[in-house]
């Protein structure tokens, strides 16, 4: 017996809407919102995997009025307009579905529900199994023999699908699918503006239909209706119920001129669909496409031929050609080096012996899987010669190549990742496939899809994308920022990574043992005070002890148990010593695992940690640290600050530490031009006391510690766009008091308010903010229809120019300090950069001069109306120097 054919019908707008609100906001590099399309596709692919459909259609509403609007103009009149971020995704989805050869269906004068209902019943009649997919439970009325209704629920990117047969509808809602219409007719529907019967809600409506099965039968038995209130409402509004039922009933015989054969599902993973998904940047979905589709997609584009070098003689010839070429592009990964110095060809050689699968892929790309393998010293010599002879070198990950050829500054090199970062610092990736798509309109496979092809074409992409990227950076006014700050910084960071910073491993081990002893002691005390041994690292167990057994206040129960987040425990700590100990336990265990134990794993044979400093991670331009992340080493607690004590200089050397003082507040004063704030920095050592004096109208000598603390919170809060609510939480004061503090601050420093308002206005106008040195930071959140997103965007617009300018100044200082140390031939090198702080390892005899040089260079990294202050010290450890 032949298996019944399966038809899947999808309610397009409904599922798109569910996906939009269920998936976090996403945009591609062109700024298109894509979260709804991404969520829809995930639901679609999950359904296709489960359903094994033979036929598929997606029904969409049209913007034109329907037959229901003709009788009732207010139908769906209470609905809010579709958010613009969702509206722009509808044509994107339809275009993608077309590329996937998936039929979309609409009918003028009818809703998508009517189209689905008509198709579902037609397919049922012709013997098909039908699955209807919608986010709207109105379609439950279609559930029938051979018609299954599936309702997806998307939350935090994950999708759960609920299935409804006629029996499941009855079990869940207490009525049959047909009776479900009558329930809605009685109770009405505010989302669709269906009136229903006044004073009858879902519970009463369900009970009435369970008893009488339809509103028509209800009329025949009005004397039996209870409660009296419902009876009276029905007597007065029965016509509303009848009309509401007409509005709520899905049309099952819409005049749909559609041959069911057109819904036949074919190959959806087409080359056109692959191109669309690449454009939308849904990398995780590309795995569904076969390798042939990917290769076909690549063949359809204009790219260079690939030549795999076969001998040392060919390598020498490549060097000769590179020396003659105006510029070359170079990219390197663990397998290949890819070089390009003319548009029609990229030459490749292996860095290691390729695996069989890699050779086969290379045969498909370049016609041969053989080729010379250049390793170790030979590769390094080749790269050095290449950099020395080439007129201009463009690269990806230039910092890693520099380590192979020397960290001396060069001006004839470009890092396209850094250039692309300047253009859009919000992106997650600046790899060759990103550059190809964004600047060459090429869709290349990512390293996850095909590592060999990605590596092979990378050199060509770098070669071809340099000029468009440089033009874009120049157009945005960041050419000087790149040439004088970002490019020299690459060499600085490469040197820091190569130099590393020394760590006393024995001292680190002793610190870990001390922490473990203290952790065990405090754990024992907590168990004694709570009267129970439990897993202190389990929020669930801890919550039960604190809020059920000990009956402490502020208990917030969630699905996974009571919340034991830091903010809740910090409220309890002043009154309950055991909670104070729990917070200390957490702090100590984090110190031990992250630093005392964690750092030990990064110490190399030379006794130093060679971390990674990222230049293209943060949106504001700040440098970030990884492997390990040294930016988060605590300093405000006694135990935390001792982590810095294990960082020590080499024998015969000391650390010189220099730290900008209140740099962001000084930048705010300078950028705003507020004379009162500028004067406060010019005349006073303690700007927080001056602010307190002016805000609270008391003489400077009479400012209390509390007033100074509050003024400090306002000073720093203003930089980050703090709200009255945020300040009230920070200072434990009422919202009105906090608002009054902020208002007084702006009355005292009026130009600060004008400056911050101007940043928001300009960010809305241009789409980005700009630092004093020209760095841009896009603020797409300002265009959001979501109030919380827009508020976040306003805070970003206020803060980014200040924080970004601070980042620029620190980078300028690093470049200038490095050059100054070299110019005076001092035995000193920068080994760490943490926020507003530089740590230099210097010969002990030269340390006083290094200290003066650091202070002078950092103070004059930028000439502002407010002098930049620098604190600098010498010490035998990082802690001592800081």
Q: Mean pLDDT per 10-residue run, the chain (882 residues)?
A: 78 92 82 90 89 92 89 83 88 94 93 94 92 92 93 68 91 90 86 83 84 82 77 80 88 90 89 86 78 57 84 90 94 94 91 93 90 88 92 94 92 96 92 88 79 93 96 97 98 97 96 95 94 91 91 81 88 91 93 92 96 94 93 78 93 97 93 91 79 84 87 82 77 82 87 94 94 95 82 92 97 98 97 95 98 97 94 96 90
DSSP letter at 373 equals B
The CATH class of the 302-475 domain is alpha beta
| Fold match flag (504-602 vs 664-800) | no
Torsion of CA 478, 481, 487, 490, to 10 degrees: -120
Domain 504-602 homologous superfamily, CATH: Taq DNA Polymerase; Chain T, domain 4 (1.20.1060.10)
**Which of the 8 DSSP states describes residue 45?**
H
Nearest-angstrom CA–CA distance, 306 and 365: 7
Architecture of domain 6-262: 3-Layer(aba) Sandwich (3.40)
Question: What pLDDT is recorded for position 235?
Answer: 78
| Predicted structure pTM score | 0.79
Cα 758 to Cα 390, 598, 670, 775, 801: the distances in Å are: 46, 45, 15, 17, 11
The domains of the chain are located at 6-262, 302-475, 504-602, 664-800
**Distance from C-alpha of 689 to C-alpha of 708, rounded to nearest angstrom:** 5
Cα 256 to Cα 62: distance, rounded to the nearest angstrom: 14
| Per-residue model confidence (pLDDT) at position 444 | 79
pLDDT of residue 292: 59
pLDDT for the residue 303: 76
Q: What is the pLDDT of residue 228?
A: 77
| Of 246, 211, 252, nearest in space to 123 by CA | 252
Record: fold of 664-800: DNA polymerase; domain 1 (1.10.150)
φ, ψ for residue 742, nearest 5 deg: -65, -40
**How far is 647 from 428, CA to CA, in rounded Å?**
32
Q: Using CA of residue 521, residue 525, residue 530, residue 532, what is the dihedral sign?
A: positive
What is the reported pLDDT for 1? 37
């Amino acid at each position: 017996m032949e298996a019944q054919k399966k038809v899947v019908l999808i309610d397009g707008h409904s599922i798109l809407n569910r996906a939009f609100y269920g998936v976090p906001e996403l945009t591609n590099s062109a700024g298109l919102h894509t979260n709804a399309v991404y969520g829809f596709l995930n639901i679609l692919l999950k359904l296709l995997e489960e359903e094994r459909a033979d036929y598929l259609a997606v029904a969409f509403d049209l913007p034109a009025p329907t037959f229901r609007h003709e009788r009732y103009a207010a139908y769906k009149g209470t609905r809010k307009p579709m958010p613009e971020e969702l509206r722009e995704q509808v044509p994107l989805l339809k275009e993608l579905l077309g590329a996937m050869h998936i039929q979309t269906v609409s009918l003028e004068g009818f809703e998508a529900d009517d189209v689905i209902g008509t198709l579902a019943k037609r397919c049922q009649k012709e013997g098909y199994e039908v699955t209807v997919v919608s986010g709207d439970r109105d379609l439950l009325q279609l559930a029938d023999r051979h018609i299954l209704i599936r309702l997806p629920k998307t939350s935090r990117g994950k999708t759960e699908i609920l299935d409804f047969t006629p029996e499941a509808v009855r079990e869940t809602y207490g009525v049959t699918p047909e009776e479900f219409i009558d329930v809605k007719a009685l109770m009405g529907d505010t989302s669709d503006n269906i009136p229903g019967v006044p004073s009858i809600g879902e519970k009463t409506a369900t009970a009435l239909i369970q008893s009488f099965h339809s509103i028509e039968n209800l009329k025949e038995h009005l004397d039996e209706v209870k409660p009296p209130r419902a009876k009276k409402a029905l007597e007065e509004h029965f016509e509303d119920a009848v009309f509401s039922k007409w509005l709520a009933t899905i049309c099952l015989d819409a005049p749909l001129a559609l041959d069911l054969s057109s819904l036949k599902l074919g190959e959806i993973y087409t080359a056109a669909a692959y191109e669309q998904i690449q454009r939308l940047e849904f990398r995780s979905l590309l795995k569904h496409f076969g390798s042939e589709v990917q290769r076909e997609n690549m063949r359809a584009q204009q790219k260079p031929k690939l030549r795999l070098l076969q001998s040392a003689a060919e390598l020498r010839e490549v060097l000769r050609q590179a020396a003659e070429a105006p510029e070359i592009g170079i990219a390197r990964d663990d397998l290949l080096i890819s070089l390009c110095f003319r548009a029609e060809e990229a030459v490749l050689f292996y860095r290691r012996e390729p695996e069989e699968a890699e050779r086969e892929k290379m045969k498909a790309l370049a016609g041969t899987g053989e080729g010379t393998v250049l390793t170790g010293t030979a590769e390094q010599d080749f790269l050095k010669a290449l950099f020395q002879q080439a007129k201009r070198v463009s690269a990806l990950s230039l910092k890693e190549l520099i380590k192979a050829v020397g960290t001396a500054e060069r001006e004839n090199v470009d890092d396209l990742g850094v250039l692309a970062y300047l253009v859009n610092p919000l992106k997650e990736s600046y790899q060759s496939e990103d550059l190809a798509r964004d600047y060459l309109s090429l869709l290349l496979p990512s390293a996850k899809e095909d590592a060999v092809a990605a590596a092979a074409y990378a050199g060509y992409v770098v070669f071809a994308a340099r000029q468009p990227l440089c033009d874009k950076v120049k157009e945005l006014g960041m050419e000087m920022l790149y040439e004088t700050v970002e490019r020299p910084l690459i060499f600085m960071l490469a040197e820091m990574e190569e130099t590393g910073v020394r760590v006393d491993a024995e001292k680190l081990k002793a610190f870990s043992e001390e922490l473990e002893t203290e952790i065990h002691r405090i754990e024992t005390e907590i168990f004694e005070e709570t009267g129970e041994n439990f897993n202190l690292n389990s929020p669930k167990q801890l919550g039960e002890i604190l809020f059920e057994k000990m009956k402490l206040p502020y208990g917030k129960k969630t699905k996974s148990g009571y919340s034991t987040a830091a903010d809740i425990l910090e409220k309890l700590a002043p009154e309950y010593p055991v909670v104070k100990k729990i917070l200390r336990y957490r702090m100590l265990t984090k110190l031990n695992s992250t630093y005392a134990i964690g750092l030990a794993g990064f110490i190399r044979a030379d006794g130093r940690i060679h971390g990674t400093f990222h230049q293209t991670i943060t949106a504001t331009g700040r440098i970030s640290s990884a492997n390990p992340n040294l930016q988060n080493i605590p300093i405000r607690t006694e135990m935390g600050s001792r982590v810095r004590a294990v960082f020590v200089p080499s024998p015969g050397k000391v650390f010189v530490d220099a730290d900008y003082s209140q740099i962001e507040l000084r930048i705010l004063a300078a950028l705003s031009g507020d004379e009162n704030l500028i004067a406060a920095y010019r005349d006073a050592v303690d700007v927080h006391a001056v602010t307190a004096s002016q805000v609270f109208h008391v003489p400077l000598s009479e400012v209390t510690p509390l007033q100074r603390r509050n003024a400090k919170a306002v000073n720093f809060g203003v930089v980050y766009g703090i709200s009255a609510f945020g300040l009230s939480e920070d200072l434990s004061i009422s919202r009105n008091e906090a608002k009054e503090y902020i208002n007084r601050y702006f009355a005292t420093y009026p130009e600060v308010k004008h400056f911050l308002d101007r940043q928001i206005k300009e960010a809305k106008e241009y789409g980005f903010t700009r630092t004093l040195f020209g760095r841009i930071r896009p603020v797409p959140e300002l265009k959001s229809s979501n109030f919380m997103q827009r508020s976040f965007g306003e805070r970003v617009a206020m803060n980014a120019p200040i924080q970004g300018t601070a980042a620029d100044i620190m980078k300028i200082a690093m470049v200038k300090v490095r050059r100054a140390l070299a110019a005076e031939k001092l035995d000193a090198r920068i080994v760490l950069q943490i926020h507003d702080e530089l740590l230099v390892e210097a010969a002990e005899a030269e340390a006083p001069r290094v200290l003066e040089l650091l202070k002078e260079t950092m103070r004059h990294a930028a000439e502002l109306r407010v002098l930049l202050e620098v604190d600098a010290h010498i010490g035998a450890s990082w802690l001592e120097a800081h």
